[in-house]
Structure 1
């Protein structure tokens, strides 16, 4: 709906749902317009409860993971989709660049497409010819402008599409990742062009996964997560929060990946094969397995680790039952007792109530990142408004049975309860650790135990550990600084950050001229850097040694770390002779560029000091 206002865009309570048809028959009936398809259709809410006001001339960046709902939101604003709920008010003409080649015919030449697009924008005749030349010049496609558009590369299509869209001053411009296909040089030109347009009053909506681009181009940032607005504020504040979340998620993923690549790890009670993050089932149930007689409103469920959220779902919000997410409810009519989403004073929730579900409960699931070492620090957090006239138990499935971890407490709307995960869920894990610790004491080992916060290494696959058996590497910890204490091993670093590798060892006899080695390899197997300690004579016993690299000089990318103990190794040797104990390629490492840096800093960031030199004075 077009309006005249000081605000360019106003969204009130906007939601967008799609029907998901479960079988071929239902899809066929739907395609033919016949009845019966809706009986097998499920609702998928891509967006829900979006309230948004964007003033004229504001530059707004949208960030979020793939599938968060950013593109759906922009399609609603551009008029390509209609909202299922709420209202969208637009003041001004919208020009949206949502896909490469939008509105361009693949068989037409670039020039023909340009003139056709200008005609659609109301520009014809000599003015169109003049603008066409400006567009060709800006896109720098002189040699190709008369070739069919289908022959253009993705970067060339991005150049021409963007150049046409910005040739006429738009009132509202939407750019969705289209510039990602262009090169860095053209991206710089595009940024300058968009700043020029916004200085003339154009409202810009810009979507990018590159937070530095958003900070450079926009004054406001909106973080879209699971179909809702998670954060809205200045680009610096939102950028820091978004980057921290992405880094935390990536750290969890890499820890689990590092463990699964080299360990035969499986969580008890859940048949997940080699999944490093197996799914754990939990539920709400009335004490005594009774049918609920009251309505117990549940608004949020979160999985937490050491006081921080791993993932949080707003129950009743968009995608609360999306099984691709780390945590989600399990809703199936006729089997569970979750109500439809409802709104109470603008707060979304679902009720745990009598929906005649066969199993009488309200289940939810979460993926447990088993790469984390300290299981006692996991918690489930539930925000609710439970009716205290009946007791609601929280139970987690572990070792062939549901284990009660607590009850929802009294306290009214917005009450928050936290529950530790049951001991039984991790009992088998701990038994394995203890068994391997006993094997360590008995002699040469191929597994290690936890000690002083060092990384737990278990079930080492053949080829990852080798040596004479006279000693063992029983702990490996990669950290940023000595101040990190006994925190778990770290997988993600920023270039220039402090970088230390700690090795815990145990010898079963005297080792003369023992040399410790830390080697870092690129993904294609090349050695990025390697360091050797000074030789030392080790008596039977145990100890630790730390390789302090100072500032990390490796460039952006993924690496993998090996550590080992060798006898008599020196830099004059071509390879590791006389290995005593080696953990080969055991720790995944990801190095990121500092925040705000876009230029390629290379594979190695060498420390450089620049000094001005005064030119000699001619006489």
Structure 2
């Protein structure tokens, strides 16, 4: 009976926050003097054009990374926040568990807060006494029920809040991360209760970063990213795609870190990346543009590997936490509002009255001295004959990189500029042809790792008669990856170049925890692998089948030694050694939530029954 009715209908929902330049403009805006605050704020779109229909009795998970817009959406649905545009239709009473600390008076005891909540819902007298006992039994807080709530831990508060909110069966139950404060026992207990509620017709909206809990409870999922709906459907399909996107982003992060490690930009991984900011801008010969120039993407490349991407207009393009971000100030900078046309989301570089006449953005690099190793790419629509210059600020003056290619043919193109070198511009008239030209399922056509930069790199040392020219981490399909699953196939491929004939070198790959503890070492002579004589170029494969290391991040050292005595703990002389230059990540098998430890060791079991 429920599946034919919508509990929640959302149409064209958007939420924009005004980020004012000065506090006084916020006050004027609150007092209704909006005309005086025009162009005194930046727009931050937490949600953009959301359209969702949720059936009665559905169990729906909202998944997405921190800052994706999930909590904003739930606050609007629960009536705690007004949208900027769009409509929300709610069919039923809503019980929302959002933030710890809301709903209960901190000075009141748990008992007093329970009765106050029940009274607010119209439950008093004997019925309230019965509900109180039910809540107390479920929350298991008998020893603390008469203590002030302000003395409760986060887990105790979560128990009390959940038990009270679900004592009276709601038509729509919204839970936003609050159960994350509880222990595993109470989370499973809560999930069982929510399942019973949905059997009675309650609609559940559940937000949690614990995908296992989400899959236990929900049958459907909606994936939100940067304020828009990416995908909705069956829980397993959506979470699989979501987790794949997380792995893809993590792969990019690890690839960027490995590139930086190869260039010796990190002292240690634990210290993190000390980024330096490079300011760039778009400007015309006459300053402010005469025409509108749509810009959809800015990306940063290092050693021909795309390490950072900013998609303009995705709601978070001016977030200074990004490695590429826009500088948006309607008084001084000529970035337009967001447009969504022709299946493209973009901003225009256009004259909106910015006193500086340009459109600025910033990129983060590890070391300004290595800026020449980076290239900048800009995706734009060629809809004007007006020349647009791309420049960056070197601390003293703006340095010209080149122009966006112009033929005024109305197509989307990409221009690429190399820092520190003579600028080169490349473009494609047909963006689809460009995309198709780089996609291949052939492992031989997979993107190759960059050749190792050995100059001035203190992490690389050795006598040099034979050197490692490239290191690859491959899966069973010979595709490069930096994230693997414990128990699956993994291969480390060491490419070498021998400048003379080398007799029986010893190849090594060592995995270290981030604290420096050695987790495992693959040593060719330990495994009775005799290389004999090598010369010229080639590669050696080290195969882990299956990979037995447990979940975690690892730093990898690789080396070619002249000899390695297994009875001696003194480091031998190396032809070439790359000390903790590579980072990889290992995950637990999908659906396995129990911590399997540092080693996923194969086990044989036996049993003997007494007669």
Query: Do both share a fold (TM > 0.5)?
Result: yes
Match among 482, 489, 495 for residue 491 of structure 1: 482
Show the 5 A alignment for 1:345-360: 350-358=347-355, 360=357
Q: Deviation per CA, 1:42-71, whole angstroms, max 9, x where unpaired?
A: 333222222222222222211122112111
Q: Deviation per CA, 1:552-598, whole angstroms, max 9, x where unpaired?
A: 21111111111223344233223434444322211112111233322
Q: Distance in 2 between matches of 1:308 and 1:427?
A: 20
Question: Which residue of structure 2 lines up, in the alignment, with residue 313 of structure 1?
Answer: 311
8 Å contact from structure 2 (residues 308, 324) kept in 1: no
Question: Which residue of structure 2 lines up, in the alignment, with residue 544 of structure 1?
Answer: 539
Question: Which residue of structure 1 lines up, in the alignment, with residue 492 of structure 2?
Answer: 501
Going from structure 1 to structure 2, the CA distance change for 1:597 and 1:452 (only over 3 Å counts) comes to closer
Q: Deviation per CA, 1:493-518, whole angstroms, max 9, x where unpaired?
A: 22223222222345566766632222
Going from structure 1 to structure 2, the CA distance change for 1:299 and 1:219 (only over 3 Å counts) comes to farther
Going from structure 1 to structure 2, the CA distance change for 1:579 and 1:140 (only over 3 Å counts) comes to farther
Q: Distance in 2 between matches of 1:158 and 1:308?
A: 43
Q: Alignment partner of 2:405: what SS? A: strand
Question: Which residue of structure 1 lines up, in the alignment, with residue 189 of structure 2?
Answer: 189
Q: Does 1:480 align with 2:474?
A: yes
Q: Distance in 1 between matches of 2:450 and 2:335?
A: 43
Unaligned residue ranges in structure 2 (runs of 5+): 267-271, 368-372, 424-446
Q: Does 1:525 align with 2:516?
A: yes
8 Å contact from structure 1 (residues 562, 582) kept in 2: yes
8 Å contact from structure 1 (residues 21, 37) kept in 2: no
Deviation at 1:144, TM superposition (A): 3.0
Q: Distance in 1 between matches of 2:312 and 2:497?
A: 48
Show the 5 A alignment for 1:71-150: 71-150=71-150
Paired residue total: 566
Q: Deviation per CA, 1:275-331, whole angstroms, max 9, x where unpaired?
A: 569657464x67x658655556x484364989999646353x634444444555544
Question: Which residue of structure 2 lines up, in the alignment, with residue 589 of structure 1?
Answer: 584
Going from structure 1 to structure 2, the CA distance change for 1:336 and 1:29 (only over 3 Å counts) comes to closer
How high is the TM-score relative to the length of structure 1?
A: 0.78
Q: Distance in 1 between matches of 2:421 and 2:237?
A: 38
8 Å contact from structure 2 (residues 498, 535) kept in 1: yes
8 Å contact from structure 1 (residues 302, 309) kept in 2: no
Question: Which residue of structure 1 lines up, in the alignment, with residue 560 of structure 2?
Answer: 565
Deviation at 1:192, TM superposition (A): 1.4
How high is the TM-score relative to the length of structure 2?
A: 0.79
Show the 5 A alignment for 1:217-296: 217-261=217-261, 263-265=263-265, 281=280, 283=282, 289=286, 292-295=289-292
Question: Which residue of structure 2 lines up, in the alignment, with residue 437 of structure 1?
Answer: none
Q: Distance in 2 between matches of 1:524 and 1:185?
A: 32
Going from structure 1 to structure 2, the CA distance change for 1:121 and 1:452 (only over 3 Å counts) comes to closer
Deviation at 1:78, TM superposition (A): 0.8
8 Å contact from structure 1 (residues 495, 592) kept in 2: yes
Match among 414, 419, 422 for residue 414 of structure 2: 419
Going from structure 1 to structure 2, the CA distance change for 1:555 and 1:408 (only over 3 Å counts) comes to farther
8 Å contact from structure 2 (residues 476, 489) kept in 1: no
Question: Which residue of structure 2 lines up, in the alignment, with residue 10 of structure 1?
Answer: 9
Going from structure 1 to structure 2, the CA distance change for 1:477 and 1:133 (only over 3 Å counts) comes to farther
Q: Does 1:332 align with 2:326?
A: no
Question: Which residue of structure 2 lines up, in the alignment, with residue 444 of structure 1?
Answer: none
Question: Which residue of structure 2 lines up, in the alignment, with residue 555 of structure 1?
Answer: 550
Q: Alignment partner of 2:169: what SS? A: coil
8 Å contact from structure 2 (residues 92, 171) kept in 1: yes
Q: Distance in 1 between matches of 2:167 and 2:299?
A: 49
8 Å contact from structure 1 (residues 264, 274) kept in 2: no
Q: Alignment partner of 1:484: what SS? A: coil
Q: Deviation per CA, 1:442-498, whole angstroms, max 9, x where unpaired?
A: xxxxxxxxx974652445654x3444x25454335242336426x5xx322222232
Deviation at 1:104, TM superposition (A): 2.0
8 Å contact from structure 2 (residues 42, 328) kept in 1: no
Q: Alignment partner of 1:239: what SS? A: helix
Question: Which residue of structure 2 lines up, in the alignment, with residue 406 of structure 1?
Answer: 405
Question: Which residue of structure 2 lines up, in the alignment, with residue 446 of structure 1?
Answer: none
Question: Which residue of structure 2 lines up, in the alignment, with residue 447 of structure 1?
Answer: none
Question: Which residue of structure 1 lines up, in the alignment, with residue 428 of structure 2?
Answer: none
Q: Alignment partner of 2:336: what SS? A: coil
Q: Alignment partner of 2:50: what SS? A: strand
Question: Which residue of structure 2 lines up, in the alignment, with residue 599 of structure 1?
Answer: 594
Deviation at 1:80, TM superposition (A): 0.8
Question: Which residue of structure 1 lines up, in the alignment, with residue 198 of structure 2?
Answer: 198
